[in-house]
Amino acid sequence: MSLFRISSTKILELQKACPTASILLRGLSAEQTNLKSVLQEKIPREQEKIKEFRKKHGGTKVGEVTVDMMYGGMRGIKGLVWETSVLDPDEGIRFRGLSIPECQQQLPKAKGGEEPLPEGLFWLLVTGEIPTEAQVQAISKEWAQRAELPAHVVTMLNNMPSKLHPMSQFSAAVTALNSESTFAKAYSEGVHKSKYWEYVYEDSMNLIAKLPVIAATIYRNTYRDGKGIGAIDDNKDWSANYCTMLGFDDPKFTELMRLYLTIHSDHEGGNVSAHTTHLVGSALSDPYLSFAAGLNGLAGPLHGLANQEVLVWLEKLRKQVGDNFTEDQLKEFIWKTLKSGQVVPGYGHAVLRKTDPRYTCQREFALKHLPNDPLFKLVAAVYKVVPPILTELGKVKNPWPNVDSHSGVLLQYYGLKEMNYYTVMFGVSRALGVLAQLIWSRALGLPIERPKSLSTELLIKQVGK
Ligand code: AMX
C-alpha cells in the first residue's frame, strides 16, 4: 500500500480539515522504512507551518540583549532556531521532546539489548517520531552499505603521524571526504535551492556511515598495530560495527557504546560544536566541511576534550591518594587544582544548572555493571566533594557534573584506556544531532548567519547616550 504518494498540499488540506490528521499521518510514516521519503512528506508541511507563524509573529520580541551578554559569551541570548533538541537548565536535554530516560525506554534496542540504538535516535531527531524496529534496521543496513571510504582518505589516515592528536586526524579526514560531496557537486552544477536539503541528506547519511570507519582506523593506527580494521557487516548495527572495528568484542561494551553514541548526539544549537557546524553550513559549505569545523570546536578542553581532561585529572588524583582515600584528601587535591588557576574538568555548564542527565544515566550504567570498580568509586566520591567546593567559590553558576565527568571511567573499565581518543567517540555521536539539524536548516532555507558586532568604543557611545 503506497499511501505515500499523497501530495503534500493534500496532506496540508487534510490536516486543516481533520484535527486527528497528524495521528493518521504518523500511522502512515510508521509504514515507511525509507527516511528520505518520510522527510519528503514532512518538509513541505513544516515549511508551511513556519511561513504562517512568521507571517503572524515575525515582529514579536523573544528577549533582550544586555552589555554583559555581549561580553559574556552571548549567554542567554535567544538567537538561533534548532529543531532537533532543547536544553532545559534544570531538567537537561530533550531530544524532540523526549528525555534521556524516555529515549532509553521508547527507542528500539538491539536483539537482547537494553540500551537504545543510535540509529533510532537519529530517526527521532530527523523526523520527530519514534521509529519502528523495521525503520531502525533499515537505517543500520543503509549506513553499513554507505560506509566505504575513498582510497585517498584511507591513504591519508595511514600516513598521519601517530603523535598527531586523534581529533586532528579526525577533522582532517572528514575535511578530505568532501571530495565525495553530492551537495558541492550539485551546487556547482546550478541545482535549485529547493533541492539543497536532498543533497545535504545524502552527504549526511554517507558521512555518518563512514565516521566509525574513520574513527576506528585512527584508533588502530595510533594505538594498535595499524593492521586492517576488517569489513563492515551489513547485518550488524552501527555501534556493533564500530566496536568490532576498534577491536572490542565484549557485548556489554557494545551496549555501552549504543548508549554513549545516543546520549552525546545533540545538546541544542548554541554549544560550540553544534553552532560551528550550523554557522559553517549556513555559508553553504558542504556537510563534510561544516562538520569538520564542528569537530575542531569539540576538540577544545572547555567543550568535548573535557572527557580526556577528566581522565588525566582523575589519574593524577588517584596517583596521589590511592584507592583508600579520605574526603579530606580529595578536598585538598580539588583546592590545589582551583588555586593553580585551573578548572575542575567535567564540572560546570553554560546552560545546565543541575546534574547532567547524561551523567546520571552513565552513573546508572556503572552502578549496574561495574559497582565495585575502584575508578568508578573515585568518580562517585568526587561527585560528593566537588559541588560544595565549587559553590563555595561563589562565581561558578553550575557546580554539578556534566556528561564528560563520567564517560571516561566506563571506557577505562572495558579496556579502552587511551584517553586522548575519547573525544573522537564524542564526535562520532555528535554528528547525529548536528547533521540532522543541517538537513532541516537547508530544508527550511535558513540564510547565511551574520549577527551584528560592535566595538567597545561604539558600544560605550551607544549605551552612554
Ligand atoms: N572549575 C573551576 N571553575 C569553574 C568551573 C569549574 N568546573 N566552571 C566554571 N568555573 C568558573 C569559570 O571559569 C568562571 O571563572 P572566571 O569568572 O574567573 O573566568 C566562573 O566560574 C563563571 O563561569 P560559569 O558562568 O559558571 O561557566 P561558563 O558558562 O563560563 O563556562 C564551562 C562553562 C563548561 C566552560 C565551565 O563550567 C568549565 O570550564 N567547566 C570545566 C570544563 C568542562 O567540564 N567542560 C565540558 C562542558 C560540557 C561539554 O561541552 N562537553
pLDDT recorded at residue 326: 97
pLDDT recorded at residue 4: 41
Residues with CB under 6 A from ligand 1: 271, 302-304, 306, 338, 343-350, 390, 395-398, 402-404
pLDDT recorded at residue 10: 55
Position with higher pLDDT, 203 vs 14: 203
- Res. 9: pLDDT tops 60: no
Nearest residue to 125 via CA among 426, 433, 427 = 433
pLDDT in tens, 127-173: 999 999 999 999 999 999 999 999 999 999 999 999 999 999 999 99
pLDDT in tens, 243-289: 999 999 999 999 999 999 999 999 999 999 999 999 999 999 999 99
pLDDT in tens, 404-425: 999 999 999 999 999 999 999 9
Report long-range pairs for 36-41 (Cβ below 8 Å, ≥24 apart). 36/198, 36/201, 37/4, 38/127, 38/129, 39/126, 39/127, 39/197, 39/201, 39/439, 39/443, 41/4, 41/6, 41/8, 41/11
**CA-to-CA separations, 219 to 6, 59, 229, 300, in angstroms, rounded:** 47, 51, 10, 19
How far apart CA 169 and CA 222 sit, in angstroms, is 10
DSSP-assigned beta bridge partners for residue 95: 85, 98
How far apart CA 271 and CA 430 sit, in angstroms, is 11
How far apart CA 430 and CA 98 sit, in angstroms, is 17
pLDDT recorded at residue 364: 98
- Res. 449: pLDDT tops 80: yes
pLDDT in tens, 352-405: 999 999 999 999 999 999 999 999 999 999 999 999 999 999 999 999 999 999
Catalytic residue among 237, 286, 356, 404: 404
Nearest Cα residue to atom 31 of ligand 1:
350
pLDDT recorded at residue 228: 75
pLDDT in tens, 61-81: 999 999 999 999 999 999 999
Give the number of the atom of ligand 1 that is nearest the alpha carbon of residue 304: 51
- Res. 328: pLDDT tops 90: yes
Give yes or no for a contact between 298 and 280, defined as CB atoms under 8 angstroms apart: no
pLDDT bucket at 28, cuts 50 / 70 / 90? low
272 alpha carbon to ligand 1 midpoint, in Å?
A: 14
Tell me how far the alpha carbon of residue 26 is from its chain's centroid: 26
68 alpha carbon to ligand 1 midpoint, in Å?
A: 17
How far apart CA 167 and CA 65 sit, in angstroms, is 35
88 is catalytic: no
- Res. 14: pLDDT tops 60: no
Nearest Cα residue to atom 41 of ligand 1:
345
- Enter the C-alpha cell of residue 459: 558600544
User: Which of 302, 310, 342 is the best mutation target for the ligand 1 pocket, counting ligand atoms within 8 Å of the beta carbon and taking the most?
Assistant: 302
pLDDT in tens, 106-132: 999 999 999 999 999 999 999 999 999
Catalytic residue among 264, 303, 356, 406: 303
End-to-end CA distance of the chain: 68
pLDDT recorded at residue 31: 86
Question: Which domains are present in the chain?
Answer: 304-414 (1.10.230.10)
- Res. 16: pLDDT tops 90: no
- Res. 3: pLDDT tops 50: no
- Res. 11: pLDDT tops 60: no
pLDDT bucket at 464, cuts 50 / 70 / 90? confident
Cα Dmax for the chain: 70
- Res. 21: pLDDT tops 60: no
Give the number of the atom of ligand 1 that is nearest the alpha carbon of residue 303: 50
Average pLDDT over every residue of 13-20: 53
- Res. 7: pLDDT tops 70: no
Q: In the chain, pLDDT over 90 holds for what percent of residues?
A: 91
**CA-to-CA separations, 209 to 120, 147, 322, in angstroms, rounded:** 14, 5, 42
